[in-house]
Amino acid sequence: MHKFFRRCQVIREKDLEINEQIRDREVRLIDSDGQQLGVVPGRKAQEMAIEKKLDLVKIAPQAKPPVCKIMDYGKYKFEQSKKEKEAKKKQKVINVKEVRLSPNIEQHDLEVKSNRAHKFLSKGDKVKVSIRFKGREMGYTKLGYDVMNKFADLVSEVGQIEKKPSLEGRNMTMFLSPKNA
């Protein structure tokens, strides 16, 4: 129940109150031209919006008295969605790809894995390199560090170490990021 209430609260914060939803006695009114008209009774503000055939929108509900603006709400929402789409276009999504190694990996297998990581890094993705130690291999974690360092050297022309190899339980992980990023 608590999570549901919080979700409803977030939805309400995104949607602005418009026209009849505004039940405040007094509001600070801004005209459609951006001119401040001062503190006006709520009913009068709604009547002014109806006269101009526009919507009355509460843009700052936390202010005392709340700030309302006369505007075309449909046009306003369209502009907002346009801005959000533009912001999403500019974001770059970075994926994290994983390459798994073993502490006693052969040289050729290491080169094949490094070629795979090379492709990921050249596409702009980050790479998580992991080694899982099984059974008695836990006694030879130094081999894991050596394998990780060799791997980092093989992909050094396109990637750099973002997070050095670290041992957490039976897993050793290292993160590589593309050099151009």
pTM of the model: 0.53
Q: Are strands 171-178 and 159-168 parallel, antiparallel or unpaired?
A: antiparallel
The per-residue pLDDT of the chain, averaged, comes to 84
Segment 7-50, tens digit of pLDDT: 333 334 456 777 777 878 888 888 888 888 888 888 888 888 88
Q: In terms of Cα–Cα distance, which of 130, 143, 113, 129 is closest to 170?
A: 130
Domain positions in the chain are 2-74, 96-178
Q: What angle do CA 9, 13, 19 make, to 5 degrees?
A: 115
Domain 96-178 CATH assignment equals 3.30.930.10: no
Domains 2-74 and 96-178 share a fold: no
The CATH number, out of the four listed (3.90.79.10, 3.10.20.80, 3.40.50.300, 3.90.25.10), of the domain defined by the range 2-74: 3.10.20.80
